[in-house]
Amino acid sequence: MSILIKGGRVIDPANGIDDTLDLLIQEGCIAQVGKNLNAAGAEVIDAAGLLVTPGLIDMHVHLRDPGQEYKEDIVSGTKAAVAGGFTSVACMPNTNPINDNKAVTRYIVEKAKAEGVANVFPIGSITKGLKGETLSEMGDLKDAGCVALSDDGRPVSDGEIMRRAFEYAKPFNLPLISHAEDLSLIGEGVMNDGFVATELGLKGVPWVAEDAATARDVMLAEFTGARLHVAHVSTKGSVEIVRAAKKRGVKVTCEATPHHFTLTEEAVRGYDTNAKMNPPLRTAEDVAALRQGLADGTVDAIATDHAPHHLDEKNVEFNVALNGIVGLETALPLSLALVRDGVFSLVDMVTKLTVAPARILGIPRGTLSVGVVADVTLIDPELKWTVEAAKLHSKSKNTPFNGWNIQGAAVRTIVGGKVVYQR
């Protein structure tokens, strides 16, 4: 079975390609990239006017499987992924049971292989039970298929444990993904600490809660020489800390989410629980800093922190609503909006959604090199559509973007040489 994608704008940052080319897929792999390709018997896709990119990679999702399948599972989560143009996702370990052992990792890997429509790369926990007390068996986790380690959502408070985690993870070359927040500074906060919180009478999460934790983890990475990836950077200060650390040669990377570079704390007005997330939506100044970080390369990757929650967990008073939103199906158009805003180039955007996360996670994805597995996304950057929460492929509909008119979408998503999504 061959597919010949003709006449699209092929963007493959890893190979420095940005040109109108044809792309041939044979036996699940990239066979040829070039002008005027022909292949007898191949299914021909006319890609004129479309972008042809490596399959997008979301290095930060919550698939809720095992344990909370009422919110999402590997099947629905990967369907949402491919609908958003993502061919690979890396899933966080805060499942039930927690992915702190090879049995859970294997379950995820096996189920994804059998039933998922996208590639799933599990992220194991740094500490057992996400309790921040004892290190997980990182060697086992790596062998079973984990590509990184994180106590996402329940950051490791104890500095000593985090130091040892870096030291222990280093020989496995597994990055530690830090959800950088000082829990004691979060307290009972439910939104960004500042003017809007004051007005709404809601308890605030100050930026220093994130910056202090980012600084600590950056210092520990520097101290140990191990690899750190800072998840969902949301503050101006954290961007600056990472930028300075990179200059010093610290092995640090970081990601930003579409909601943090698109929305501000103003979205909380009206007590919209779909604007409640952790870290919280920040100020316009933070959004500008995040965009600057994306532009100058401080922010390496775009990741969604796709966090499905059931209606019953969101349709409640603001301070008891759970944190997080679904993001897989809106990330691409929101990223394209930054290209239109002149924040970064299209090639930069594709980099941050493909080869950059692939390199951070060390996975053989994110390029269109001849011979690699054919994960390819065809994007219509001009397509205008309206977000309808009810029509999302995810089981959960918790999006703050419901009703938004946005532009750009994946029109075909190809995983391992097979078209798994067509718009």
Residues acting as catalytic residues = 305
SS (H, E, C) the chain: CEEEEEEEEEEEHHHCEEEEEEEEEECCEEEEEECCCCCCCCEEEECCCCEEEECEEEEEECCCCCCCCCCCCHHHHHHHHHHCCEEEEEECCCCCCCCCCHHHHHHHHHHHHHHCCCEEEEEECCEHHHCCCCECCHHHHHHHCCCEEECCCCCCCCHHHHHHHHHHHHHHCCCEEECCCCHHHHCCCCEECCHHHHHHCCCEECHHHHHHHHHHHHHHHHHHCCCEEECCCCCHHHHHHHHHHHHHCCCEEEEECHHHHHCCHHHHCCCCHHHCCCCCCCCHHHHHHHHHHHHHCCCCEECCCECCCCHHHHCCCHHHCCCCCCCCCCHHHHHHHHHHCCCCCHHHHHHHHCHHHHHHHCCCCCCCCCCCECCEEEEEEEEEEECCHHHCCCCCCCCCCCCCEEEEEEEEEEECCEEEEEC
Residues 253-292 that bind other proteins (CB under 8 A): 270-271
Residue from 28, 129, 145, 194 binding other proteins (CB under 8 A): 194
Number of residues engaging other proteins in binding (CB under 8 A)? 23
Residue from 320, 340, 405, 422 binding other proteins (CB under 8 A): 320
Q: State the nearest-atom distance from the C-beta of 323 to other proteins, in Å.
A: 12
Residue from 202, 245, 353, 378 binding other proteins (CB under 8 A): 202
Segment interacting with other proteins (CB under 8 A) among 121-129, 174-182, 198-206, 248-256: 198-206
- When asked if residue 382 is in the footprint of other proteins (CB under 8 A), the reply is no
Q: State the nearest-atom distance from the C-beta of 396 to other proteins, in Å.
A: 14
- When asked if residue 193 is in the footprint of other proteins (CB under 8 A), the reply is yes
Q: State the nearest-atom distance from the C-beta of 152 to other proteins, in Å.
A: 20
For other proteins, the closer of residues 124 and 308 by Cβ is: 308
For other proteins, the closer of residues 154 and 243 by Cβ is: 154
What is the pattern of x (binds other proteins, CB under 8 A) and - over residues 140-179?
----------------------------------------
- When asked if residue 319 is in the footprint of other proteins (CB under 8 A), the reply is yes
For other proteins, the closer of residues 45 and 212 by Cβ is: 212
Residue from 58, 152, 305, 313 binding other proteins (CB under 8 A): 313
Cβ atoms 51, 412 nearer than 8 A: no
Residue from 200, 244, 288, 339 binding other proteins (CB under 8 A): 200
Q: State the nearest-atom distance from the C-beta of 318 to other proteins, in Å.
A: 5
Q: State the nearest-atom distance from the C-beta of 167 to other proteins, in Å.
A: 33
Residue from 35, 40, 188, 201 binding other proteins (CB under 8 A): 201
For other proteins, the closer of residues 29 and 208 by Cβ is: 208
Residues that bind other proteins (CB under 8 A): 193-204, 270-271, 312-313, 315-320, 322
